[in-house]
Amino acid sequence: MVKSKPYIILSAAITLDGKIATKCGDAKISSHKDKIRLHNLRTTVDGILIGINTVKQDDPLLTIRYAKCGHKHPVRIILDSNGIIDHNTKILKTSTKFKTIIVVSEKIPQRNLNRLKNYLNVDIIMSGKKTVDIKQLLRHLLTKYSMQRILVEGGSKVNWSFINQNLFDELIITVSPYLVGGTRSIPFLSGTGFPNIADSPTLKLKSITRLEDEVVLNYVRPCHF
């Protein structure tokens, strides 16, 4: 069968009550041991993909600095329909060192597009009319960039898009021993949600790893089991 997308792994650290950040945007959920595990996982993929809200809220580097040395650095991929990513973000500040792709939509204002074009090591991919068409994007990343494996690291809206469109193969969730509650905290998945449990994708538990008080759950789609 001809592949139409790279292998997609969704990854998140959640609290015991299923949140990925508090209502104030605090997302420091996982332990240092789990960060090392995550960075080692990052060394196994070609790209790490996140949404623009996560860039705004967390200002991540998306590097493999806690992993063992000698690995090829994955490409950082940001979904940013309007091309609003700030010049002072760590992603853009380190873009000469680590390859970065900003994925915009057709509605991006021309001045934002011109600004992004000034970054030498940043590729711009246009996909979708108002928001990024992730199915089209994944095909492009497979065929034009030869990406075989991509790690999706959130946030909530991006996770939902991949699950709602059935574009993922594996789920790796760290459950950390926190309870934050609140209707305004950020859940693992946002979006409209499925009306019935039967609408949920089918998943098979592949492994459980204990890291002191955290557990790392690894689920895969049955076709990969």
Ligand X SMILES: NC(=O)c1ccc[n+]([C@@H]2O[C@H](COP(=O)([O-])OP(=O)(O)OC[C@H]3O[C@@H](n4cnc5c(N)ncnc54)[C@H](OP(=O)(O)O)[C@@H]3O)[C@@H](O)[C@H]2O)c1
Give the binding site for ligand X (CB under 6 A).
12-13, 20-21, 25, 27, 29, 50-54, 57-58, 79-82, 131-132, 134, 153-158, 161, 186, 190
Residue 115 or 157 having the CB closest to ligand X: 157
Residue 183 C-beta: closest distance to ligand X, Å: 15
CB atoms within 10 A of CB 143: 12
- Strands (DSSP E) along the chain, which ranges? 7-15, 19-21, 47-51, 75-79, 100-104, 122-126, 149-152, 170-176, 186-187, 204-211, 214-220
Residue 24 or 208 having the CB closest to ligand X: 24
Residue 57 or 94 having the CB closest to ligand X: 57
Residue 118 C-beta: closest distance to ligand X, Å: 20
Residue 177 C-beta: closest distance to ligand X, Å: 14
Q: How far is CA 171 from CA 14, 106, 146, 188, 220, in A?
A: 12, 30, 22, 12, 6
Residue 72 C-beta: closest distance to ligand X, Å: 23
Question: Would you call 120 exposed, middle or buried from its count of C-beta atoms within 10 A (0-12, 13-18, 19+)?
Answer: exposed
Residue 70 C-beta: closest distance to ligand X, Å: 26
Residue 6 or 51 having the CB closest to ligand X: 51
Query: Cα 173 from chain centroid?
Result: 12
Residue 92 or 186 having the CB closest to ligand X: 186
